[in-house]
Structure formats: structure tokens, C-alpha cells
């Protein structure tokens, strides 16, 4: 009789093995749900940017006569340099080197941009003077309204070299 009591008690109490099996099944189910959630989040298209952010992307640089020909002005907020060429045209150059993305300062004494990371150099138009940079500095769209220079920093324009049609002239 005592043997029957033990088997009935062991049937009522869950064993350690059955507990761990149920635990692993539960954790596996949770992991499956999390995987499905991550997959759906990855495949869902991104929401477009809010129009207020686009309004902040246009930076007013100032009046045309405020920039001397052959000068470069840094705009920290817009992360660009506004370059006024000798012929009076404007270019908005990105501050990032096209080699590894280091911030490229304008060296006024040498009249060129020099990358502190790997010594790439660029002229006032952003063209590569000395490698390892593979291409010219990227630019932003410049437009002039009512003799005021404005730069649209919403979209960076990648380029291989300087071309005359990239320059914006006052009317």
C-alpha cells in the first residue's frame, strides 16, 4: 500500500523536468513573438519628415553684399560653409570630408580646406587638391531671394567634381 501512495503523490506534484520544459516552451513563445514584432517594425515604411523640420532646413545666410568675393563663411547651425567665388557666385559646401567624414576647416592663410584626419585638401570650390579624398566636397542648394542668400540644408548633393552650373549667382 505505501507504494501506491508515492506514485499518486508524484503524479500530483510536477517534476523538475516538466517545470523546466514548460519554462523553455514559454520563453520560446515569447522569443517568437518578439522576433515577429521586430520583423514587422523592420518591414514597415518610415514616416515622412514633418514639414516643420523642412522649414528649419532653409537657413538664411544674409544679404549678398555681406559676403566679399573670394571669402568663405562658416555656418555652424547648418553644418556648411558658404563660399563666395571671385566671380560673385555662391556655393554651400558641406563641412564633412568625402574620405572619412571628418570636419574640414577653412584655412584662410592657405586659401584652402584641409582635413585634419588624413591631410586631404580642397580649394574654395570644394574640388580635391590633394588626396586621399576621392571626390569634391558635397554641396547644398543655394538660392537668392530679394538679394538675400538662403541655403536649403534638407538634401545633400553628392558630386564628383566642381562644375560651373553648381554655382548660384545674384540677379
- Span 94-151, pLDDT tens digits: 999 999 889 999 999 999 999 999 999 999 999 999 999 999 999 999 999 999 999 9
CA distance 38 to 65: 54
Helix intervals (H) in 13-157 = 16-43, 51-57
- Span 45-61, pLDDT tens digits: 876 654 455 557 889 99
- The strand pairing partners of 1, in sequence order, are none
Contacts of 159 (CB under 8 A, 6+ apart): 126, 135, 136, 138, 139, 166
Considering the domain architecture, whether residues 93 and 14 belong to the same structural domain is answered as no
Question: Is 171 a member of any domain?
Answer: no
Whether the per-residue pLDDT at 79 is higher than 90: the answer is no
Q: What is the pTM of this model?
A: 0.67
Considering the domain architecture, whether residues 10 and 65 belong to the same structural domain is answered as no
CA distance 96 to 104: 6
Considering the domain architecture, whether residues 128 and 61 belong to the same structural domain is answered as yes
Looking at the structure of the chain, the number of domains it has is 2
Question: Is 83 a member of any domain?
Answer: yes
Contacts of 97 (CB under 8 A, 6+ apart): 103, 104, 115, 117, 118, 120, 133, 137
H or E element that contains 128: strand 128-130
Q: Per mean pLDDT, which range of 31-40, 43-52, 145-154, 159-168 is the poorest?
A: 43-52
Whether the per-residue pLDDT at 5 is higher than 60: the answer is no
Per-residue pLDDT, 72: 95
Question: Is 69 a member of any domain?
Answer: yes
Residue 76 domain boundaries: 51-166
Considering the domain architecture, whether residues 31 and 68 belong to the same structural domain is answered as no
Considering the domain architecture, whether residues 19 and 91 belong to the same structural domain is answered as no
| Residue whose C-alpha is closest to residue 156's, from 134, 126, 129 | 126
Helix (H, G, I), strand (E, B) or coil at 58: strand
Per-residue pLDDT, 8: 57
Are 127 and 119 spatial neighbours (Cβ–Cβ below 8 Å)?
Answer: no
- Span 11-32, pLDDT tens digits: 666 788 888 899 999 999 999 9
Binned at pLDDT 50, 70 and 90, residue 9 comes out as low
% the chain with pLDDT above 70: 87
- The strand pairing partners of 84, in sequence order, are 71, 90
Considering the domain architecture, whether residues 75 and 147 belong to the same structural domain is answered as yes
Whether the per-residue pLDDT at 73 is higher than 60: the answer is yes
Considering the domain architecture, whether residues 68 and 28 belong to the same structural domain is answered as no
Considering the domain architecture, whether residues 36 and 59 belong to the same structural domain is answered as no
Binned at pLDDT 50, 70 and 90, residue 81 comes out as very high
Per-residue pLDDT, 154: 87
Per-residue pLDDT, 49: 54
Region 61-89: mean pLDDT is 92
CA distance 120 to 128: 7
Considering the domain architecture, whether residues 34 and 56 belong to the same structural domain is answered as no
Considering the domain architecture, whether residues 36 and 58 belong to the same structural domain is answered as no
Considering the domain architecture, whether residues 95 and 136 belong to the same structural domain is answered as yes
Return the CATH number at 112.
Answer: 2.102.10.10
Considering the domain architecture, whether residues 13 and 96 belong to the same structural domain is answered as no
Amino acid at each position: 500500500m505505501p507504494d501506491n501512495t508515492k506514485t499518486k503523490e508524484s503524479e500530483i506534484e510536477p517534476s523538475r523536468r516538466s517545470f523546466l520544459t514548460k519554462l523553455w516552451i514559454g520563453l520560446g513563445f515569447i522569443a517568437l513573438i518578439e522576433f515577429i514584432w521586430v520583423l514587422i517594425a523592420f518591414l514597415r515604411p518610415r514616416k515622412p519628415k514633418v514639414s516643420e523640420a523642412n522649414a528649419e532646413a532653409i537657413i538664411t545666410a544674409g544679404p549678398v553684399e555681406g559676403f566679399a568675393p573670394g571669402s568663405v563663411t562658416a555656418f555652424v547651425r547648418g553644418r556648411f560653409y558658404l563660399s563666395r567665388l571671385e566671380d560673385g557666385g555662391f556655393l554651400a559646401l558641406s563641412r564633412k570630408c568625402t574620405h572619412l567624414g571628418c570636419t574640414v576647416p577653412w584655412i584662410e592663410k592657405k586659401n584652402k580646406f584641409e582635413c585634419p584626419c588624413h591631410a586631404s585638401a580642397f580649394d574654395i570650390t570644394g574640388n580635391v587638391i590633394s588626396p586621399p579624398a576621392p571626390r569634391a566636397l558635397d554641396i547644398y542648394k543655394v538660392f537668392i531671394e530679394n538679394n538675400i542668400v538662403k541655403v536649403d540644408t534638407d538634401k545633400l548633393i553628392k558630386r564628383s567634381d566642381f562644375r560651373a552650373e553648381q554655382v548660384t549667382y545674384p540677379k
